[in-house]
Amino acid sequence: MHALHRGFLTALFLMSIASTAGAEVALFSAPKNYLLALGDSLTFGFQWTRFLANPDPSNFTTGFVGNFAHRLTATGPGSGTTVVNYGCPGETTGSFLSGPCAYHLAGYPLHNNFAGSQIDAAEAFLATHPGQVGPILVSLGANDALAVVDRCGLDHECIGTLIPEIVAAIVANYSETLGRLRAAAPNAEIIVLELYNPLAVIDPTSNALAAVINQAIEAVATTNRARVANPFFAFDLTGPQPQTLCALTLFCTALSDVHPSDQGYQVISDLVWAASGHGRFEP
């Protein structure tokens, strides 16, 4: 059996373990005083052209968190909601738990700075604002997947060998992350962003890696009463391709940037908004 196929079968077994760990239906919660955004460069709203022009966080205003917050604060219940964005470019599911944020350690400011690990910062904020935080937006896992590509390129044999390892790590780390967030905020709306695959521009078969990671993330999210927003279909499966993927990401530009374009961030924001259920508060 080809290593890629063996890897996917093992990953599916790991996901079946995660999905049978006591799944619960997500309960709707209206927006509260604070929106807490956690995760990686997508949470931050990163784009390389903006970073090279000016790395100050005030230059990153078109990300999905900002777009989501703009829509949220236009509703009655969310009109007074304040955004706290700990998004750290480069964060993995592991570094989220261990810290520190390497991007900030290198001297670059975050939207909301923190020391130590991002999960510790999130728990501290939730502890000092009990019952006042929601929704909580989480985006992690993309850098875990990119680490596989960094090690293997697009060598299917190599990727297949590493799939079980990477999926097991994502399941374990995401389980701890969402478990701790749910314990700290029992009634908060938690929305988890799944992955799209910018590398499909050059190798559409790499979609399989993103798909199996998304299934793992969704299984863990369901177990922890979190909702999911999945951009994979909009980015990678909506035709025509690769034109759609090139429009929604910056991968087809000179910098080969894997991050979303402004249009792509808006699409993600709309998906997160739909998952949140807060549309019921719109006029």
- Annotate 105-137 with DSSP letters as a single string: HTTPPPSS--SS-HHHHHHHHHHHSTT-EEEEE
Q: Where are the domains of the chain?
A: 3-17+29-278
Q: What is the pTM of this model?
A: 0.92
Look at residue 12 and tell me whether its pLDDT is greater than 60.
Answer: no
Q: What is the structure's pLDDT at 235?
A: 98
Q: What is the structure's pLDDT at 282?
A: 92
Query: Helices 262-276 and 64-72 meet at what angle, rounded to 10?
Result: 50
Q: What is the structure's pLDDT at 25?
A: 64
Which CATH superfamily, name and number, covers 3-17+29-278? SGNH hydrolase (3.40.50.1110)
Non-local (6+) Cβ contacts of 213 within 8 A are 141, 144, 145, 166, 167, 170, 194, 195
SS3 228: strand
Q: Which amino acid is at 15?
A: M
Asked which of 57-66, 162-171, 239-248 is least confident by mean pLDDT, the reply is 162-171
Question: 40 near 143, Cβ under 8 Å?
Answer: yes
Helix, strand, coil % in the chain, rounded to nearest 5: 55, 10, 35
